[in-house]
Chains A and B, each alone.
Chain A
Amino acid sequence: MSVLVFTENWDGKFKKLSYELVSYASAIAGMMGTTVTAVSAGQVTDDELKELGKYGASKILNVRGEKLGRLDNQAFASLVSEIALKEGSKVIVLSNNNTGKAIAPRVAVRLKAGLGAGVSKLPLSLNPFTVYKKAYSGNAYAHLVIKSDIRVLTLAQNSFDIVSTPDNAVIESIDASVDGSLFRTEVTDVQKQTGKILLTDADIVVSGGRGMKSPDNWGPIVELASLLGGATACSRPVSDEGWRPHDEHTGQTGKIIAPNLYIAVGISGATQHLAGISSSKYIVAINSDKDAPIFEAAQYGIVGDAMKVLPKLIDAVKEIRK
């Protein structure tokens, strides 16, 4: 009957989102009067596994299997579903990142479970089981009732704070009991992004738009991001022009992010761009046009020339970092 949570690891360490997921699952388990079972697939040490106990997991299933190193949607969904059935789980929690999106819908069909995708709060009610998620690309929120007995939830990134709960977790190692023939995804090459902070993981993002006028002007954006320990992003026209790599494009058809702080420099604030950043906790805009729509979305703004404002911001950050 436990709440099941699918955690993710990278290079043997849990991603930060895994702690958010376990914290979230733990809160739901509290609401339902049950416990949390965390699933970890792949090569993770016992010390690392114990970490999950600190966020409320009472059982940690360490799933071993050599094919688990690469994501195969069907095989992973089968694995999670089998475990859910064994555990008698009524709620299964995954991240709403690319991996979660790949697996969750398949788990939902296997278990004939309704899926609440991209939920950003704890359930509003258990009976009927009602979740809260964005709709219309951030222009609204929906209270979604999940009518089935089993529910699958994917948690929107950066929407639930990590909560420490002292607990004594039991670690159980099991072999992946998945039909080997289900692993049909063949990975022929992997390109890992090194060094740069992952845009989707970054707490702080500094982003530039066409108002920067030229790719040659990007130095201050990169410097400010670096001083703040954040990542850089850009609007669609900027990536279309080739001024910045296309994986920096944030917006409706680019990356959708939810950092604590999004600084938009020289970005007008077109609806498609806002759809990519509307879940940011704080938005700051710098634009020379006082009527730019971005100021309707931002909590703080400066009307001015980016090339004059950015150096002063950089100096101010250097001051406080001293």
Chain B
Amino acid sequence: MKILVCISNVPDTTTRVKFVEGNTKLDTTGVQWVINPWDELALTRALELKDDASTGVKTVTVAHVGPASSEPTIRKALAIGADDAIRVNADPSDAYYVAAQLAEVVKKEQFDLILCGIESSDFNGSTVGGMLSEFLGIPSVSAVSSLKIEGGRPVMTREIDGGKESVTVPLPFVGIVQKGIAKEPRIAAMRGIMLARSKQIKTSEPVASDSLTQVEVFEKPSPRAACKFVDPENPGMLIGILQNEVKVI
């Protein structure tokens, strides 16, 4: 069984988000780039499944749509334990475009199980995984919080409003995963980092595809008014404010 994990390259959470070029682009000065946290959890689970011989998982590949400057992040995925990587050499202009590129990767290489994090921390779109599955015409399961492979079949828990369901689908399928899929992200050990140097990042050129959305401009949230402090000796006043001024209780 071959697993593909789709990863995106995002600024780490501590980044001070600022914009340049008329607020159309993120200011990347000093930004630390990381694997999108949900994709990292997806990759971790894929590697756990591979570590368990009973699952039949033979390889874990990562795929990324992005320019050469993304390669350090792809190397991190290899250092954590992915066997190989594919980078589609293109600017990830929008989710539709990215999904179309990833679909070509899947069609060429024939994966059984494709995992995507439920959203990326830069765009919060929750879009690529679902679009990818539709391009491929295969089932998708979203909000997957646990994934096992039993008797060659994927057995998952998916979160629904008001509970959980145990779910299975035929392969191949796209699993769109969220918190719970792995306890914590796997960390690259020294050995993994060394081995990663000799693992292959295959580059491919993009196929023609439209992008259907475009950010016209970003804006920062309006500066919050300073916190109004209530006397700790008289916390009851807060309840009065919440009821009478703010009217939320």
Stretch at the interface among A59-67, A163-171, A208-216, A278-286: A278-286
Contact of B162 with A253 in the complex, beta carbons under 8 Å: no
**CA of A114 to CA of B95 in the docked complex: distance in angstroms?**
9
| B137: A residues at CB distance < 8 A | 74
Q: Does A309 contact B (CB under 8 A)?
A: yes
Interchain nearest-CB distance for B165 vs A (Å) = 5
Known: A114-B96, A137-B121, A298-B227. 17 other contacts (CB 8 A): A101-B143, A102-B176, A105-B128, A105-B130, A105-B131, A106-B133, A108-B96, A116-B213, A117-B125, A135-B218, A136-B11, A142-B217, A143-B219, A145-B213, A261-B249, A271-B13, A297-B224
**CA of A139 to CA of B219 in the docked complex: distance in angstroms?**
9
**CA of A150 to CA of B19 in the docked complex: distance in angstroms?**
30
Interface residues of B (CB under 8 A from A): 11, 13-15, 17, 19, 26, 37-38, 41, 94-96, 99, 118, 121-131, 133-135, 137-143, 158-170, 176, 178-180, 210-221, 224-225, 227-232, 234-236, 238-243, 246, 248-249
Contact of B218 with A142 in the complex, beta carbons under 8 Å: yes
**CA of A103 to CA of B129 in the docked complex: distance in angstroms?**
11
Contact of A134 among B99, B124, B213 (CB under 8 A): B124
Interface of A is mostly: mixed
Contact of B14 among A109, A184, A271 (CB under 8 A): A271
Interchain nearest-CB distance for A248 vs B (Å) = 12
Q: How many residues of A contact B (CB 8 A)?
A: 98
Contact of A117 with B124 in the complex, beta carbons under 8 Å: yes
Query: What mask results when residues 173 to 198 of chain A are scored 1 for a CB within 8 Å of chain B, else 0?
Result: 00000000000111111111100001
**CA of A101 to CA of B38 in the docked complex: distance in angstroms?**
15
Contact of B166 among A15, A138, A143, A188 (CB under 8 A): A188
Contact of B169 among A15, A186, A249, A316 (CB under 8 A): A186
Closest residue of chain A to B120 (Cβ to Cβ) is A137
